Structure 1
Amino acid sequence: MNKIAQNQIYNVNCIDGMKLLPQSKIDLIVTDPPFAIDFKATKQNYNRTASRVMQGYNEIKQKDYYDFSVKWMEQAFRILKESGSMYVFSGWNNLKDILSALDDVGFVTINHIIWKYQFGVVTKTKFVTSHYHCVYVCKNPKKRKFYPFVRFGKNQKTSEGRSLHYKDKEDVWDIKREYWTGDQKTPTKLPAEVIKKILQYSSKEGDLVCDPFLGSGQVAVVSKQINRNYLGFEIVKKYHDFAKKRLEQNLYRLKA
């Protein structure tokens, strides 16, 4: 492979894949990197049927997480346009490495978003974790694109008279996880609603959206649904093939 084309996904290491892209090619990067928390993809996580959860999750050792983050972020910074943005999802466990790497590579932080979902793992000795972090950064804050009224008009109100666009742009997002009961799935995935919200605020139709850690293909699938161009890399062949099938068949969910 010596050339990368848009509206394609590739079964390669994202660092190698991004190196083949020209500088300042991408309008928006949205990604959820590996956890580095000794995650077991074959377990019946969150009461899911293990036979329907695809195996092969590629984990990073915790001691290597900062260096790993810097390496892929350096390439992300290089391929991102001056007007572009990046959203990086992270659990709390390795958030310090994500934040340090973003700063050290040269990204400018715009917002720290909290995604609040409907359940976490039950605990007895500590508080339940039922949120996820999303760090919204850019390359050049003076040129960064953002579309503040794309989802709600300036004067739209809730039934209580509150500004809808203000409410939608608050930095805590209460969005439910998706249940894919009876369908094929990867161990983790972001809800389409979360991805769509990011795409609408930070891109326009025809923009090129990249996900270096594609997983089940959520970012590419939602990008295609709302007329963005997409590009993605996924090192696990089973996940890549699953995402490719979803894209080729224009199906959001695939039966097990």
Structure 2
Amino acid sequence: MKKIEINNIYNLNCIEGMNLIPKNKIDLVITDPPFAINFKANKANYNRTSSRVLTGYNEIKPGDYYDFTFAWMSEVFRILKDSGSMYVFSGWNNLKDILRALDDVGFTTVNHIIWKYQFGVVTKKKFVTSHYHCLYVCKDNKKRKFYPFSRFQKNDKTKDGRSLHYKDKEDVWDIKREYWTGDEKTPTKLPSEIIKKLLEYSSEKKDVVFDPFLGSGQVAVVSKSLNRRYLGFEIVSDYYKFAKKRLDKNMYRIKTSK
């Protein structure tokens, strides 16, 4: 049996990996689970060419998505500390199953955050989807950690005189996607600005931050840069190798080799 060590990532199915973690070990979870749609990494994504995108994305059939979600969330609940929290990102197509599973596992929902990005898929017969959901949940709301003035002080003001800490804590976030032109990349990733914001509000230095669906390694890389401890699983070998390279080299972006 493999021993799971902090400040490491593993090329493992996350449920198998979490089975090796003792209960009440994780301070914070930030994750963007795979979609249950017919998305292929080697095809265009959001009307963008996918050259230099690593292939091998694992998909879950829509009919299995609730069971899949309930299974991994149950393990997260077990390994999360009572003072811990989780942020789960989701597109609208998976939202019903995500919400059901959170309730059924026993999480308490704290906030429903909307991430507004700069543009979505052009449409002719419906409105353009240009946002993503982020569900902020916890195990025990009375013990949950949150640091309201970790980014701005109570009297800090915007240029137009508004309360800066209030604006920063509103639940609609206008944050641009990152496009790594000319660099190695995976099909989807959360902007570092979002991860940094979540880390600063919901964790302290040396806390253990976990991502069961590591992808390109964003959560681990940003956590490491902010002096958090990290842990993650990624089932796709190419993604795992890419994330490990970023962590080992302490590099946020890696230039494509010619």
Structure 1 SS opposite 2:153 = coil
The question of whether the paired residues in 1 share the 8 Å contact of 2:56 and 2:236 is answered with: yes
Moved more, 87-96 or 48-57: 48-57
Q: Show the counterpart of 1:187.
A: 187
- Please state whether the residue corresponding to 1:133 is helix, strand or coil: strand
Name the counterpart of 1:152.
152
Determine if contact 2:9/2:244 at 8 Å carries over to the other structure: yes
Distance in 1 of aligned mates of 2:113 and 2:36: 21
Instruction: Give the corresponding residue for 2:118.
Output: 118
Q: Match of 1:124, SS? A: coil
Correspondence 1:208 to 2:208: yes
Q: In structure 1, give the amino acid aligned to 2:170.
A: E
Percent of matched pairs sharing the same residue: 76
Alignment partner of 1:177: what SS? coil
Structure 1 partner of 2:220: 220
Q: Report the counterpart of residue 142 of structure 1 in structure 2.
A: 142
User: Where do residues 22-171 of structure 1 align in structure 2 (5 Å cutoff)?
Assistant: 22-46=22-46, 48-171=48-171
- The whole-number CA distance in structure 2 between the counterparts of 1:65 and 1:179 is 28
1:142-183 CA distance string (max 9 Å, x none): 000000000000110112111100000000000000010000
CA distance in 2, matches of 1:62, 1:105: 20
TM-score by length of 2: 0.98
- More off after superposition, 158-167 vs 132-141: 158-167
Separation of aligned partners in 2, 1:251 and 1:38: 32
Q: Distance in 2 between the 1:246 and 1:46 partners?
A: 25
Give the letter aligned to residue 167 of structure 2: K
**What code does the residue aligned with 2:3 have?**
K
Count, aligned residues: 256
Paired with 2:65 and 2:49, the residues of 1 have a C-alpha distance of 30
- Conserved? CA contact 2:50–2:187, under 8 Å: no
Which one-letter code corresponds to 1:136 in the other structure?
Answer: Y
Partner of 2:11: 11
- Name segments (4+ residues, structure 1) moved above 6 Å: none
Secondary structure, counterpart of 1:198 in structure 2: helix
Corresponding residue number in structure 2 for 1:175: 175
Counterpart-to-counterpart distance in 2, 1:12 and 1:100: 26
Q: Could you tell me which runs of 5 or more consecutive residues in structure 1 were left unpaired when the two chains were aligned.
A: none
Structure 1 partner of 2:245: 245
1:40 Cα deviation from its structure 2 partner: 1.6
What letter corresponds to residue 7 of structure 1 in structure 2? Answer: N
Mapped contact 2:29–2:86 kept (Cα < 8 A)? yes
The alpha carbon displacement at 1:185 in A equals: 0.6
- Alignment partners' CA distance in 1, 2:66 and 2:4: 27
**Partner Cα separation in structure 2 for residue 152 and residue 180 of structure 1:** 29
